[in-house]
Amino acid sequence: MNNRRRFIILYVGLLLVLGSFILYGIKIIQAAPPAGSTPQQIDQFAQQYGTDQAFINQYGVFLLMFLPGLTLVGIYGAIGNQSPDNPVGIVPKAIIVLIILTSVLTTLNSLAVASKAIVLSPLAFWMFLVVAALGLANFAFVLVVWNGIRWGMWAYGITASLMFILKFAGSVPIIPSIIELSAVVVLIYLIRPLWIEMD
């Protein structure tokens, strides 16, 4: 794949992701109760915007832009910068694929929860928004590891740990959070023998 095609894939993917978040922000503003709303009005907003079906209905276009955009960014990260000297083999890459999938699911779930939380708790809204951002960071950093670059492992370990702390503080079920964090340990175990060969 030549450089021009690589960058087209990257730029189109980034534009779709950026556009999807602009749309998400607009929808969030529409869903937020006006300042000074009464409890009854807040309850009405919760019934209107606080369900899974409401998220799908309100954010369908966001999903249609976000998922293809993230897929294109993932393609660029996986094949756009391949190096013949990359020491990362098939087993670590299989674990990275699983981490990517869980990171995308975590991001989408956190965005969905945030879209409901804005109606009832601004603090919870921002917390889940940060978790969504950390999910995207995990997605990006494991792609750096995929390409045999050492600092990606450090960055992924930090963002995954921060995500675990936030989820724990937010009373998110502990077992899925521990499983996600254990992926860091597994990847470190697989990458450790390759550490010297990585850039």
Measured distance CA(189)–CA(151) in Å, rounded: 16
**Rounded Cα distance, 139 and 148, in Å:** 15
At residue 35, the pLDDT reads 57
**pLDDT tens per residue, range 151-197:** 999 999 999 999 999 888 877 778 878 888 899 999 999 999 888 88
pLDDT of residue 19: 95
Written as six digits, the tokens of 161 are 């740990």
Residue 1, token pair as written in the block: 């794949």
Q: Cβ–Cβ contacts within 10 Å for residue 90, how many? A: 6
Residue in the block written with tokens 């391949």? 82
pLDDT digits (tens, 9 = 90+) for 15-31: 999 999 999 998 888 77
At residue 199, the 3 state secondary structure works out as coil
Each residue's pLDDT tens digit, 46-90: 555 555 556 667 788 899 999 999 999 999 998 866 677 788 889
Q: 63 vs 48, 69, 97, 126, 164, CA distance in Å? A: 19, 10, 20, 20, 25
Instruction: Please compute the mean of the pLDDT values over residues 139-151 and round it to a whole number.
Output: 93
Report the alpha-carbon distance of residue 77 to residue 97 in Å, rounded: 12
